[in-house]
Structure 1
Amino acid sequence: MWTKHHKKKKIGRFIIPAMTVAFLSYFGYHAIHGDYGLRATEAFERQRIAKERELAVLKNKREHLEKQVALLSDGSMDRDMLDEKARLQLNFSRADEVVIFNNYTN
Structure 2
Amino acid sequence: MFARLQPYLPTAALLLLITYFVFHALTGERGLLSSSQRNADLAAKTMELKKIRAERMDLEARARLLRSGSLSADLLEERARSLLGYADPKDYVIRTRR
Is 1:41–2:35 an aligned residue pair? yes
The one-letter code of the counterpart of 1:29 is F
What is the aligned-residue identity percentage?
Answer: 31
Q: Aligned to 1:96, which of 87, 90, 95?
A: 90
Q: Segments of 4+ in structure 1 off by > 6 A?
A: 21-24
Larger Rg: 1
| Residues 1-106 of structure 1 aligned to structure 2 (within 5 Å) | 26-99=20-93
Distance 1:87 1:96 in 2: 14
The one-letter code of the counterpart of 1:52 is T
Q: Where does the alignment leave 5 or more consecutive residues of structure 1 unmatched?
A: 1-11, 101-106
The one-letter code of the counterpart of 1:77 is L
**Number of equivalent positions:** 87
Distance 1:78 1:23 in 2: 69
Distance 1:42 1:25 in 2: 23
Q: TM-score, normalised by structure 2?
A: 0.66
Aligned CA-pair RMSD: 2.9
Q: Where does the alignment leave 5 or more consecutive residues of structure 2 unmatched?
A: none
- Which structure dedicates a bigger proportion of its chain to helix? 2
- CA distance 1:39–1:90, shift in 2 (3 Å): farther
Distance 1:23 1:81 in 2: 67
The one-letter code of the counterpart of 2:85 is N
Distance 1:26 1:88 in 2: 63
